[in-house]
Chains A and B, each alone.
Chain A
């Protein structure tokens, strides 16, 4: 597709379960971001992938959170042993990072509810 695609769009899980969230960036975009946004709050940076460089994981809130990216394509954000405070929308974004074009484009998000 033309835009950033995320799945699932909605996920309800029980506390303590693991969840995987998927992001398909725009084709050709070398940079990929994950953000978390709790209800009524701002964007919280989680992790940033840029090409073959080591990812910037400085925003991951705990070791329960991890993310991988295969080359310059799909990324998966994994949350282990989910807690209620993990309930949020998880936004993925990608960027071409070429020339002056480092504008990022967001997907529609994965809404996670931990019950």
Chain B
């Protein structure tokens, strides 16, 4: 089982729709969770992070975390063609007594928003 799993997609949604991106992780002790966006040929850039169960909203983006189910998701409301990119889920895996372990990334989900 991969440590962080994402559906590779591609996920295609029409402009204005809600895009839902999902991620599961294997380490129940994971502490912090991140969503990055990567445009083709560019480096990943941070969209959001979440540490606590529940929802966290930032503009058109909502991150949802369910630690019991080991599941984190990203919702993009009113999707725009400019949202077309690869979305990477990253999880801070435990590291034996230290406060933070290394971030582990999923393989990414390709999102295409069509006009």
Contacts and interface: CB of A to CB of B under 8 A. Distances in A.
Interface stretch (B20-28, B62-70, B76-84, B95-103): B95-103
Interface residues of A, number: 23
Task: Give the interface SS of chain B, mostly helix, strand, loop or mixed.
Answer: loop
Interface residues of B, number: 22
Nearest to B42: A108
Given A42-B88, A45-B105, A109-B43, 15 more contacts: A33-B103, A41-B107, A42-B108, A43-B105, A48-B102, A91-B43, A95-B100, A95-B103, A102-B100, A103-B46, A104-B34, A104-B103, A105-B46, A106-B45, A108-B43
Interface of A: 31, 33, 35, 41-43, 45, 48, 50, 53, 56, 91, 95, 97, 100, 102-109
